[in-house]
């Protein structure tokens, strides 16, 4: 079974992509940034762009783990970027809602409100642009360039000036549909309930990971195998909705597909999971913490669940169905 990098990014929920959809940047800085901002509004008005048949339904079984510590339990809840409808809090599985309510501290990957602020959006728009003199079109043959414009429709001159990861994020939004990231619903609920909030990463850290992972070669692969990536992403969303950790692991981990882009696994998964361990162990010592992060971080041999179990912590899956994990 093959591993799709688009599906992996959905599972890992690099949330600055979702944050880009939440607000329109103001006060354009320079002609190219102004063009990018205008393009962002245009694409948002036309969504869904690449995959109009994508629809969203609720979560039938959660991907929730309980960690025993010296005090109250700590919960790990796997999330996803789009594809499931949790706009109504009651659509969240009951065990997730209960774990959330029982926790004093809610931990997310990044602060989505900060990421969607006008100031940050302006800075992000600037980073989306290629250095002067570079052209995105020059990195593709004519057929690939034409196909890229079909699956991420935008004016060719504007696309030509964008970083590969910026165009990829537009494609990813089309693959996941209009439903918001699950983390957004959790952060909104936490703020409404007056919960304490903390974050595992900064927006800049996530942006650095994406920029290092999504280059022209990855974007070209997405174009050449778009139907495959589309199918795998939909399979991942369905597995997430059903709480099928085994299928999720088989999508996120595959030796043959990982060999296609050998550095992506370490950048997206291993290094980030290892960087989180100190914070997670502090949360376990404290107790009463609900951690929500991309579900890809919680399945497989390089997951934080595996690392924490190897460190001696007792972790159990809540509502595991027939899965081994």
Instruction: Please answer whether residues 28 and 34 qualify as being in contact, where contact means their C-beta atoms are separated by less than 8 angstroms.
Output: yes
pTM: 0.85
Phi-psi region of 313 (alpha: psi -120 to 50; beta: other; left: phi over 0): beta
**According to the model, what pLDDT value does residue 318 have?**
93
pLDDT confidence of residue 249: 92
Q: Return d(Cα 252, Cα 242) in angstroms, integer.
A: 16
Q: How many Å apart are CA 7 and CA 209, to the nearest integer?
A: 16
What's the confidence (pLDDT) of residue 44? 41
Measured CA to CA, the distance from residue 247 to residue 295 in angstroms comes to 12
What are the structure tokens assigned to 308, written together?
């924490």
Other Cβ atoms less than 10 A from the Cβ of 59: the count is 20
Q: Are 78 and 63 in contact (CB under 8 A)?
A: yes
Domain residue extents for the chain? 5-318
Per-10-residue mean pLDDT, the chain, length 325 = 54 51 41 52 43 62 95 96 87 94 97 82 87 96 95 92 93 82 93 97 90 92 92 91 93 78 85 96 98 95 96 89 54
Runs of H (alpha helix) within the chain:
5-12, 16-19, 31-46, 94-102, 112-115, 118-127, 142-151, 156-160, 164-176, 182-192, 203-213, 216-224, 226-242, 245-252, 255-258, 262-265, 271-286, 304-310
Cα dihedral 19/23/29/33 (nearest 10): 60
Please name the residues in contact with 120: beta carbons below 8 A apart, sequence gap of 6 or more.
Answer: 19, 114, 203
Cα 5–11–12 angle (5° rounding)? 85
Closest CA relative to residue 210, chosen from 160, 183, 172: 172
Buried b (16+ CB within 10 A) or exposed e, 107-135: bbbbbbbebbbeebbbbbbeebbbeeeee
Residue 199 pairs in a beta bridge with: 108
pLDDT confidence of residue 190? 97
pLDDT at 82: 82
Amino acid 32: pLDDT: 53
- What sign results for the dihedral spanned by CA atoms 150, 152, 258, 4? negative
- Would you state the pLDDT for residue 124? 83
Please tell me the distance from the alpha carbon of residue 193 to that of residue 125, in angstroms, as a whole number.
32
């Amino acid at each position: 079974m093959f591993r799709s990098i688009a599906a992996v990014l959905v599972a890992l929920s690099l949330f600055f992509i979702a944050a880009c959809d939440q607000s329109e940047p103001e006060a354009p800085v320079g002609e190219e940034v102004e063009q990018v901002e205008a393009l962002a509004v245009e694409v948002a008005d036309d969504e869904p762009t690449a995959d109009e048949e994508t629809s969203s339904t609720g979560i039938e079984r959660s991907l929730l783990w309980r960690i025993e510590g010296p005090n109250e339990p700590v919960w790990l809840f796997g999330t996803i970027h789009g594809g499931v409808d949790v706009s109504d809090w009651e659509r969240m599985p009951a065990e997730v809602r209960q774990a959330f309510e029982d926790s004093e501290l809610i931990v997310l990957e990044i602060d989505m409100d900060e990421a969607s602020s006008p100031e940050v959006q302006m800075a992000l728009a600037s980073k989306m642009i290629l250095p002067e003199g570079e052209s995105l079109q020059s990195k593709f043959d004519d057929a690939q360039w034409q196909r890229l414009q079909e699956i991420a429709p935008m004016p060719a001159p504007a696309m030509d000036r964008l970083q590969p990861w910026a165009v990829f994020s537009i494609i990813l939004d089309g693959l996941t549909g209009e439903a918001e990231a699950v983390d957004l619903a959790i952060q909104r609920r936490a703020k409404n309930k007056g919960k304490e909030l903390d974050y595992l990463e900064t927006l800049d850290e996530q942006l650095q990971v994406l920029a290092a992972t999504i280059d022209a070669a990855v974007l070209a692969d997405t174009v050449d195998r778009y139907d495959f990536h589309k199918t795998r992403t939909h399979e991942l969303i369905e597995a997430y909705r059903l709480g099928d950790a085994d299928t999720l692991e088989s999508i996120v981990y595959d030796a043959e597909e990982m060999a296609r882009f050998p550095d992506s696994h370490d950048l997206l998964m291993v290094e980030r999971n290892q960087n989180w361990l100190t914070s997670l162990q502090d949360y376990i010592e404290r107790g009463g913490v609900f951690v929500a992060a991309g579900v890809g971080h919680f399945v497989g041999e390089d997951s934080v669940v595996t690392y924490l179990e190897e460190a001696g912590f007792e972790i159990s899956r809540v509502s595991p169905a027939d899965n081994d994990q």
